Structure formats: C-alpha cells, structure tokens
C-alpha cells in the first residue's frame, strides 16, 4: 500500500482561494533535458525560499513541483506565523537536542523568523492578507499553565519581547473562554498561505527561476558530471539537488519519506462573522494556539471568517466528524457563537510532516543531494527562514554546518514508521480524551 500523500491540484475546499491577492499562474511541465546550477524539488514555502535566495545569490535555479505551486501543506495550512517552536518546546530543550551552538542559532532563527517573513512580504509586495497583530499561547489547564509559563520565561531570558498574560488579559485580547493565563509575542500574526506561495513563486520567476509544475520527480542519480533528477520523460542536470517535499514525498524516495511522520490534519472556516460575534471575537485580530492535542487554535481571515481545525479521524465519515468537533470547540471557546447561528462553510484536509524531535533536519542523500523538512506545524515561519539559510548554503555563502539543524549523514527512519504513519489517521479520539482529563 502506498503511503505517498495525495496531490490535490485543485485545493478542494480550501478557503484561501476566496481571498487571493496574487494571480494563479500556469507553469509548464518538464519536458526534455534542462541544465541548472541547482534543482529544487517542492514548490512550498521551503522550496520556494531555497530557490528565491539561491537565485538572488546568482544561481541558475530550476524548481520542480509534482502538482501546482502551494498545493501541499504550504498552501492549505492555517496561515499562523508563529515566533515559537511547536507546543511547549522551549529553547533549553532545543539546545539539549542540537547542542548549545546550533540550538541557540535555531532559537534565534525561530524567534526572529515571524518578523523576517513579514519583512520579506513587504519587500516583494506580496499580497497575502498579511497581518502582524501578534500571537498568543494561552493555557487551558493547570498542566498547560506550568508549561507555557516555562516557555515564556525562557524566551524572556533569551531576549525576546514577550509578555505574560493573566486570565483577564487573555479574555480581553481573545474574548475566548476557559483560559487561565498565557503569553504573547507581538511579532506573530497571520497570512493567506496559498496567496503567499503564489507571491513567492512570482518573485522566484522574476529572479530567473524556472518553475515546472505537474512534474513529479521519480528518480535522482549522481554520476561523474553531477546530479540528474528525472520527472517522467524530463530530466534536469545540476551540480546540486535539494528536496523540500516534506509529507508529500513520493514512495520512490523512502529515506526522505520515512524521516518524518505524515500527520493528517483538517481545517474549517465559518461564514464571515456578523453582529456581536464579529465585534467581540479576536477584536484585535490576534491569532492563538494552545497546547490541546485535539485543537485549540483560532484566527480570522480577511473577510472575518473564524478558522480552526484538528487532526483528521479517518474512520467513517471523517468530514462530518471533523466539522462536528470543530463546531463544538468553537462554541466552547466562544460561547456567543451559540447564539449567532454559527455556520461552517469550508472544510479541507492536508498533511503535515512531523519529526520525533519536532524539529526540522537536513538529510544527506548523496555527495550533493540533500533533503530538508520536518517543520512540525511551524512551516509558515520556520520553513521559510530555514529555506533562506539552505538557499544561501546552496549558493556557497555559508557552510553545511552553518545550517542550525541536525545533519543526518545517513538514512534515519522514524522508528515504527509504518505503524505511526497509519496510527496518525486514527488517534484523534485519544487526543480528545487526554484533553478532557487535563493531561495536556
């Protein structure tokens, strides 16, 4: 049975198509022989930024995409630009995993990354409904309060401009119920992620990057003259190849595919809020993500739709299950929605690449063939800023050891990968139980 994540070129149900600020451009299939300085595989946030910054440094870059630009996780995520690691992962824990030098460098990349993403959007005039209104991590239980307090204190000691929030502060900022404290970083915010992908592709093209869509890669070999990447009847020869395919890696490249677990997620969007709900919910348009495993996050889009979601429970009618859970969670967080005739409009699904450490890594596949991925729900920030760093490495501006993540010199599969990859599709009810018991 294949475990390759399906490519949905239509982005079925994805709300971001309704508020696009960038034009959807058609790029050709790869046909025949092409030559470049660098071939990048995957036109999501990471691949687009690798290509952009390598081209900006003077390289001739070809970017290959199996479907359409932004069609994977990058174009269908929630659009949260978060200046923090996943969950309650603190800088000290990252240093234990990576060592002091790389750990601190990655923490600096993360805490400054959200702002860097917004500055790049401004620099290139990308129309993606970008709003830098701040991000909040509220606590929903005593256990989570201890965790988020530790995270806040570590970022404060690190020098980040973060603020602690009382229960009353959280209520004022979010107008959400059930939170007993939390912290905020004002550099966070939201984007239309699909529009951002399209804008990055536009910038790449203006810098000379040649993008080929609907060109799924099915082979990569190194010979005496460099690297050859094949996609059907097309081939690209280049001195270096970098894969940025994450959870959408095909079965032909198991070393990359099995280095992450593909977690199956969904999002929903309401119809635009009106009346009291529109006035009171997230009045300052901040976004938030709590520590609940069954989904405790929310933001507004540019038309005032409330967006949330969770992990897909791929048993029975998974869409009905997801919609019902999201509706109940929204009403729990925002009781005023129960009075307003809340209606869910859009529903969509996609895959996220999660690693054992919840940190990305670089995997060496050959002398000059690499893969980078595993952003574990932090792709809007980290996939882009790490993509910039990897692009600079490809251009020879920095060394491989200057990339502040684990460098895996040989294949390293996630333990029990086949079991975990399948279990991720059925574990959501367990998440719900753990949340109800206050264990998260």
Q: Between these two residues, 395 and 275, which has the higher pLDDT value?
A: 395
| Residue 354 in this model has a pLDDT that exceeds 50 | yes
- Over 90: is that where the pLDDT of 377 sits? yes
Contact between 401 and 130 (Cβ < 8 Å): no
Q: Which residues on adjacent β-strands are paired with residue 226? A: 223
Residue 338 pLDDT = 82
| Residue 270 φ/ψ, nearest 5 degrees | -80, 170
Q: Which residue has the tokens 């900006």?
A: 56
Which domains does the chain carry?
Answer: 15-436 (3.50.50.60)
- pLDDT tens for 239-273 read 999 999 999 998 999 999 999 999 999 999 999 99
pLDDT at residue 30 greater than cutoff 50: yes
CA distances from 169 to 110, 261, 282, 332 (A): 25, 36, 12, 19
Q: Which residues contact 106 (CB under 8 A, 6 or more apart)?
A: 94, 98, 359, 404, 405
What pLDDT, in 10s, does the model give residues 289-316? 999 999 899 999 999 999 999 999 999 9
As a whole number, mean pLDDT of residues 41-69 equals 98
pLDDT in tens, 112-167: 999 999 999 999 999 999 999 999 999 999 999 999 999 999 999 999 999 999 99
pLDDT band at 4 (very low <50, low <70, confident <90, very high): confident
Q: Is the pLDDT of residue 421 over 90?
A: yes
Q: Given this model, what pLDDT does residue 5 score? A: 81
The reported pLDDT for the residue numbered 2 is 64
Contact 383, 45 (CB under 8 A): yes
- For residue 45, how many other CB atoms are within 10 A of its CB? 31
What confidence tens digit (pLDDT) does each residue in 181-219 have?
Answer: 999 999 999 999 999 999 999 999 999 999 999 999 999
What is the pLDDT averaged over residues 375-388?
A: 98
Share of the chain above pLDDT 90, in %: 93
The strand pairing partners of 342, in sequence order, are: none
pLDDT at 190: 98
pLDDT above 80: residue 340: no
Query: Which pLDDT score, from 0 to 100, does residue 1 have?
Result: 43
Does residue 67 have a pLDDT over 90?
Answer: yes
Residue 51 has pLDDT above 70, yes or no: yes
SS (H, E, C) the chain: CCCCCCCCCCCCCCHHHHHCCCCCCCCCCCCCEEECCEEEECCCHHHHHHHHHHHHCCCCEEEECCCCCCCCHHHHCCCEECCCCCCCCCHHHHHHHHCHHHHHHHHHHHHHHHHHHHHHHHHHCCCCCCECCCEEEECCCHHHHHHHHHHHHHHHHHCCCCEEEEHHHHHHHHCCCCCCEEEEECCCEECCHHHHHHHHHHHHHHCCCEEECCCCCCEEEEECCEEEEEECCEEEEECEEEECCHHHCCCCCHHHHCCCEEEEEEEEEECCCCHHHHHHCCCCCCEEECCCCCCCEEEECCCCCEEEEEECCCCCCHHHHHHHHHHHHHHHHCHHHHHCCCCEEEEEEEEEEECCCCCCEEEEEECCEEEEECCCCCHHHHHHHHHHHHHHHHCCCCCHHHCCCEEECCCCCCCCHHHHHHHCCCCHHHHHHHHHCCCC
């Amino acid at each position: 049975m294949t475990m390759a994540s399906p490519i949905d070129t239509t982005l079925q149900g994805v709300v971001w198509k309704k508020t696009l600020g960038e034009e959807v451009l058609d790029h050709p299939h790869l046909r025949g022989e092409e030559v470049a300085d660098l071939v990048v595989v995957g036109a999501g946030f990471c691949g687009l930024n690798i290509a952009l910054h390598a081209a900006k440094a003077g390289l001739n870059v070809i970017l290959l995409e199996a479907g359409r630009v932004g069609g994977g996780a990058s174009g269908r995520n929630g659009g949260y630009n978060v200046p923090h690691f996943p969950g309650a992962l603190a800088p000290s824990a990252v240093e234990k995993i990576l060592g002091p030098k790389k750990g601190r460098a990655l923490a600096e990349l993360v805490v400054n990354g959200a702002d860097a993403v917004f500055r790049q959007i401004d620099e290139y005039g990308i129309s993606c409904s970008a709003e830098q209104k701040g991000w909040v991590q509220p606590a929903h239980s005593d256990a989570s309060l201890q965790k988020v307090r530790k995270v806040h204190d570590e970022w404060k000691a690190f020098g980040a401009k973060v603020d602690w929030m009382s229960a009353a502060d959280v209520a004022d900022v979010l107008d959400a119920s059930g939170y007993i404290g939390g912290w905020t970083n004002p550099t966070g915010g939201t984007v239309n992620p699909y529009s951002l992908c399209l804008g990055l592709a536009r910038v790449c093209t203006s810098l000379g990057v040649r993008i080929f869509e609907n060109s799924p890669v099915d082979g990569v070999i190194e010979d005496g003259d460099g690297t050859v990447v094949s996609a059907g009847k097309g081939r690209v020869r280049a001195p270096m190849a970098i894969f940025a395919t994450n959870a959408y890696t095909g079965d032909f490249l198991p070393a990359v595919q099995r280095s992450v677990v593909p977690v199956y997620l969904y999002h929903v969007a309401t119809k635009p809020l009106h009346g009291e709900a529109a006035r009171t919910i997230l009045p300052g348009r901040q976004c938030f993500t709590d520590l609940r495993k069954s989904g405790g996050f929310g933001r507004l889009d540019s038309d005032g739709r409330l967006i949330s979601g969770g992990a897909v429970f791929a048993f029975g009618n998974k869409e009905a299950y997801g919609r019902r859970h999201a509706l109940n969670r929204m009403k729990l967080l925002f009781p005023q929605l129960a009075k307003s005739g809340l209606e869910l409009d859009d529903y969509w699904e996609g895959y996220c690449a999660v690693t054992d450490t919840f940190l990305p890594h670089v995997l060496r596949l050959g002398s000059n063939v690499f893969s980078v991925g595993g952003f574990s729900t932090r792709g809007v920030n980290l996939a882009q800023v790490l993509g910039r760093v990897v692009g600079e490495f490809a251009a020879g501006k920095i060394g491989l050891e200057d990339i502040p993540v684990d460098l895996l010199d040989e294949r390293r599969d996630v333990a029990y990968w086949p079991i975990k990859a399948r279990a991720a599709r059925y574990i959501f009810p367990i998440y719900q139980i753990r949340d109800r018991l206050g264990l998260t």
